Every structure is written in structure tokens, then in C-alpha cells.
Amino acid sequence: MTAIAPSRRSDRQAGVGCGMEQFHHPRPVCTGRGSATRPTLQRERLTAGLAGRVVELGAGDGVKLTCFPPAVDEIVVIEPDAFLRAAAAQVAAALPRRVSITAGRLDRLPLADASCDAVVCSLVLCCAPVERTLAEARRVLRPGGQLRFYEHVRSASPVLAFAEVLVSPLWSRAAGGCRPGREPVTAIAAAGFTLENLERFSFRHVSHVLGTAVKA
């Protein structure tokens, strides 16, 4: 990954707090407090260099909408939950760019073919119908459009991987549909994307990936 300059946010934006990526995975979107608040390293890398019309799958509590770079002139959020749409709308109202927060299923996006420059997935492929969601992401992207993803993945340890698959049915019920044994990178490639960047790391002892894939 290339080095990324720190994002600058207004005091009004910084006042919304640290936020969370997704409701079922309440990991912080920002660090610091008050005017010193800035996106986490993962959120910066996830969105760095994006421009034009960007789709975010899942609203979280909306704070991540403050972290997009200035070249993004429109954000379209697809969120099936009414409570989370309302929370995101309060954050979006203070932003100096167009934000659309839309009800819809991630595996049936209410968007036209080839209408977006990028799709962002952060901790959603573990719970969404992964093949259909990725097919929809590819459908709405323009040729050459990017899929940016930040997801947890099955452990490289055979013992831990077996345990993740084993507990998935019960864990899914307790954690908003999350299935820890999934392999999103394999699914992204199978959906017809070309992987460009891929970084693997551990977060709270759980294996994660952060990367970019392109629609050919």
C-alpha cells in the first residue's frame, strides 16, 4: 500500500465521535477526540484516492461518511435497517457533498448498471449473501471501477479455521449474521474482479484483509 496523507475534517465533522464500521462489527472508524479526530488507518487506506460516485454497502452509524476524500462528490449508502439509515442521515446532513441513504438489500442493489465509480465493502461480506452481493457490486460499477474491501477472513491456522467454520451457525445468530469461516478474497476473484492490492493483517487476533479489486 502507498503512503496516505492524513485526512482533514472540519470541527463540525469531528464532533460526531469515533463511530463504527458496521453495527454488527462495532469497530472504530475514527481515532482521537474533538478536532483531533481522524480516520483510522484502515478507513484511510480503504477510501484513499476514491473519486466521483461511490457506493458504501452498509451504513454503520454514519460516521464513516465523514472520512471520504474530497474528490468523492457523491456517496450512495445502501442500508436495509431503518434505524441505521436514520442515524446515518443525521451525520450526512452536516456534510458538504451529496449523500443518498437508500433502503435496499445488498444482494439486490437499487442502482442502475455501470452507474458508479467505486463500491466500498467494510465488514459486510461475512453476513451478506456473498456471491450475489459481489455480482451486484460488479453490475453497478463502470468498466474499470473499483471494489474496495476491508473484511475479516478465515484463519490461516487449520485448527482455528476449523473452529471458525464449526461455530458459524451459532455465531451467525448472535452476531448479526456474521459467518467467520468465509473466504471473501476467493469469492471476489470468482465474481470476475481482478485483484490489484491485498494486505493481510491481524486485528484483535482475527485475520483480516484490506484491498482493491477492479472490474475488467
Indicate the SS3 state at residue 130: helix
Buried b / exposed e over 39-76, threshold 16 CB at 10 Å, is: bbebbbbbbbebeebbbbbbbbbbbbbbbbbeebeebb
| Residue 141 within a domain | yes
The type of residue at 29 is V
| Residue 29 within a domain | yes
CATH number of the domain encompassing residue 95: 3.40.50.150
Which pLDDT score, from 0 to 100, does residue 158 have? 65
Q: How many domains does the chain have?
A: 1
Q: Is the dihedral of CA 77, 80, 81, 82 positive or negative?
A: positive
| Residue 107 within a domain | yes
Nearest alpha-carbon partner for 107 in 146, 67, 135, 127: 135
Which pLDDT score, from 0 to 100, does residue 14 have? 46
| Residue 200 within a domain | yes
Per-residue pLDDT of the chain (216 residues; tens, 9 = 90+): 333 333 444 444 445 678 888 877 778 899 887 767 889 999 999 999 999 999 999 999 999 999 999 999 999 999 999 999 999 999 999 998 999 999 999 999 999 999 999 999 999 998 889 999 999 999 999 999 999 999 987 666 666 655 566 656 655 555 556 667 678 999 999 999 999 999 988 877 778 899 999 998
| Residue 163 within a domain | no
Which pLDDT score, from 0 to 100, does residue 2 have? 30
Which pLDDT score, from 0 to 100, does residue 125 have? 92
| Residue 119 within a domain | yes
| Residue 33 within a domain | yes
Tell me the C-alpha distance between 20 and 142, whole Å.
28
According to DSSP, the residues that pair with 139 across neighbouring strands are: none
Q: Containing domain of residue 39, as a range?
A: 11-153+182-215
| Residue 3 within a domain | no
Element at 143 (helix H, strand E): strand 141-152
pTM of the model: 0.84
